[in-house]
Amino acid sequence: MKLVARYFSFEGVDNRWDRMANVLRRSCDACGVEHDVRLMPVPQRTRGSAVVANHAKLKEWRDAVLEATGPIILADVDMFMQRDPRAGFDCVEHVGITYRDQGGTHIPINAGVVFVHPTKRARQFMRDWCDMDDLLYSEGVEFCKWRAKNQGMNQASLGALIETGGFQPTRLDCSKWNLVEPWDSIDAAHMVHVKGNAFRHIFNGEKSKYDSVIEIKKRWESIEHDIA
Q: Is the pLDDT of residue 42 over 70?
A: no
CATH architecture for the domain at 2-227: Alpha-Beta Complex (3.90)
Rounded CA gap, 13 and 1, in Å?
Answer: 34
- Kindly report the backbone phi and psi dihedral angles of residue 128, in degrees, each rounded to the nearest multiple of 5, phi listed first: -65, -40
**Confidence check: pLDDT of 47 > 50:** no
Q: pTM, whole model, 2 decimals?
A: 0.93
> Cα-atom radius of gyration of the chain, to the nearest Å?
17
Helix (H, G, I), strand (E, B), or coil: what is residue 66? Answer: helix
* Nearest one of 107, 103, 114, 105 to 79, comparing CA atoms: 114
Q: How far is CA 167 from CA 20, 90, 91, 121, 159, in A?
A: 32, 19, 17, 9, 11
| Banded pLDDT at 15 (limits 50, 70, 90) | confident
Convert the pLDDT of each residue in 146-195 to its tens digit: 999 898 899 999 999 999 987 899 999 999 999 998 888 899 999 999 99
Task: Say if residue 126's pLDDT is above 50.
Answer: yes
Please, are residues 173 and 63 in contact by the beta-carbon 8 Å criterion?
no
